[in-house]
Amino acid sequence: MTDSRDPDALIRRAGRPDPSFDQHFLVDDRVLDRIPTFAESFDRSHVLEVGAGTGALTDRLLDAADRVTAVERDEGYAAFLREEFADEIAAGDLEIVEGDVLDVDLPDFTCSVSNLPYGVSSETTFRLLPLGKPMVLMYQLEFAERMAAEAGTSEYGRLSVAAQHYADVEVVETVPREAFDPQPRVQSALVRVTPREPDYEVGDEAFFLDFVKALFTQRRKTVRNAIRNTAHISGLSDADAVVAAVDEDVLRQRPGNLDPSAFAALANVALGVEGGDGG
């Protein structure tokens, strides 16, 4: 590895981040150096970085990847990156994309390694997950734990089911507040996301995800009552008919105790009933 750019010096040259704009930049060299190692098993020929900021992680990724595309929505920081990394851009090793990751056209990347802006971490994750690319992403610790949670735990919810529908999710490192400037109010965590096909089938993925969302709005109710109470969210035209088609042992459970495959089975039953009724 070549000598890495000093993260504090980058901030001094680029200008102070603004926490009101969701800007919390990693300044701990040890954490920055470790992040690319969590993606060593991934194809790093073209790495996507979301929220490049002043480029401290970008610098490390350039040492680990063949090519990096860095997305940065802040106009000032995007301009700084183009100046700071002019040589790497000229060599074709780096491209800076200025704009919001939720709106810009994404390249055909092979993996993503990013310190995500926390305010849009959920929306960003669910733009990236369906693309089926491996990722190492930084989140608020609570969000990370919810992504990786198992059925039956207090952290398990809609986010857990949806994320694990697309990939294996693993919290690989907890990162303290002190590793950032300015410091966020909470701890953070690095999550490794390894895409894989689910071991179940869903008849309609959009309906499946809406159905999971609906039932978790009633997580303390039984599945029977959750189905009946959320037809306006899931779009069911005859919730009672769906309930009648589901096994009693499933109806007695609560949504938080159903694993993703059980949710898929439920959603498929609901689709079958609705289809049979012309709904």
Return binding residues.
24, 26, 51, 72, 100, 115
d(CA 194, CA 199): 15
d(CA 232, CA 239): 10
Binding residues for S-adenosyl-L-methionine: 24, 26, 51, 72, 100, 115
Angle of CA points 38, 102, 151, to nearest 5°: 55
91 close to 68: Cβ distance less than 8 angstroms = no
Integer CA distances (angstroms), 219 to 71, 209, 226, 255, in order = 37, 15, 7, 5
Name the nearest CA neighbour of 156 among 168, 147, 165.
Answer: 147
d(CA 98, CA 78): 6
Task: Tell me the residue ranges of DSSP E strands in 153-275.
Answer: 167-175, 180-181, 188-195
Strands 68-72 and 94-98: parallel
d(CA 134, CA 208): 23
Long-range contact pairs involving 274-277 (C-beta distance under 8 Å, separation at least 24): 274/236, 274/237, 274/238, 274/242, 277/237, 277/238, 277/241
